[in-house]
Amino acid sequence: MCLMDSSWVIDGHDIATAFDLSRFKSIVDVGGCSGALARVMAKAYPASTLMVLDLPKVIQMTQKHFCQSDDTIKFQAGDFFEEDLPAADLYILARIIHDWKEEKSLMLLKKIHAACGGVLVVEAMLFENHRGPIMAQLFSLNMLVQTEGKEHPPSHYTHMLTTAGFTDVQVCRTGKTYDAVLALK
Ligand SMILES: C[S@@+](CC[C@H](N)C(=O)[O-])C[C@H]1O[C@@H](n2cnc3c(N)ncnc32)[C@H](O)[C@@H]1O
């Protein structure tokens, strides 16, 4: 968890400000783990409420070891495949899509499309020809070994998001390790 959190110390601000998200007053970080990215988002958008949804065991561990006395973010235990998502104006999916086979990712994106107005997908995105960046290639290798998924170029996320029903899809290459795609209905 600490290792994953450190990504958002380095890249969190670039992700939070890749788009102006101030119109979204309630934001849920789906599979948000210990809340590292949600805390960066809460700092960037102090008028918005931030909630992290993750599996019960992860939320338990987070509340024991990662919660801060001045935390403004809330945590909720749940399964994003099995249960309804908490209501929100915007959902964040950071390093979630790359874990799963396409049909599962699509199931989640369709659920999010039915529930809200927007989704921010955050991943280390490959070049369109898949020949870099080296970090995204290495992450993809790691995903192929450890999960059902892999890394993709922006066009793949755009295609999945439009298949799920989103119409307005914008990609932001941050120039750092992680990039963002904002999709609206
Ligand atoms: C690769 S980690 C990404 C964590 C965080 N979004 C980040 O970027 O630091 C994937 C997260 O998804 C959570 N997760 C996996 N399956 C889940 C499910 N069915 N429901 C809720 N959370 C889930 C894991 O517990 C984990 O925290």
Domain boundaries, the chain: 2-184
pLDDT of residue 158: 98
Class of residue 180 by CB neighbours under 10 A (exposed 0-12, middle 13-18, buried 19+): buried
The CATH class that applies to domain 2-184 reads alpha beta
Contacts by residues 48-51 (CB-CB < 8 Å, ≥ 24 positions apart): 48/21, 48/22, 48/24, 49/25, 49/74, 50/74, 51/26, 51/27, 51/75, 51/76, 51/86, 51/88
How many Å lie between the centroid of ligand 1 and the Cα of residue 29?
9
- Best residue among 2, 6, 80 to mutate for probing ligand 1, ranked by most atoms within 8 Å of CB: 80
Class of residue 78 by CB neighbours under 10 A (exposed 0-12, middle 13-18, buried 19+): middle
Choosing from 13, 98, 113, 159, which is the catalytic residue? 98
pLDDT of residue 67: 76
Please give the Cα distance from 8 to 159 (Å, whole number).
26
Nearest-CA residue for atom 15 of ligand 1: 31
Closest residue by Cα to residue 81 from 143, 31, 147, 27: 31
pLDDT by position in tens, the chain (length 185): 667 778 899 999 999 999 999 999 999 999 999 999 999 999 999 999 999 999 999 999 998 888 777 788 999 999 999 999 999 999 999 999 999 999 999 999 999 999 987 999 999 999 999 999 999 999 999 999 999 999 999 999 999 999 999 999 999 999 999 999 999 99
Of all atoms in ligand 1, which is nearest to the CA of residue 93?
A: 6
Nearest-CA residue for atom 24 of ligand 1: 31
Could you confirm whether 98 is annotated as catalytic? yes
> Is the Cβ–Cβ distance between 13 and 44 less than 8 Å?
yes
Nearest-CA residue for atom 5 of ligand 1: 32
pLDDT of residue 116: 81
How many Å lie between the centroid of ligand 1 and the Cα of residue 32?
6
Closest residue by Cα to residue 7 from 118, 98, 135: 135
Residues in the chain, overall count: 185
* 19-to-9, 56, 68, 143, 164 alpha-carbon distances in Å: 18, 31, 27, 27, 21
Task: Give me 1's structure tokens.
Answer: 């968890």
pLDDT of residue 4: 75
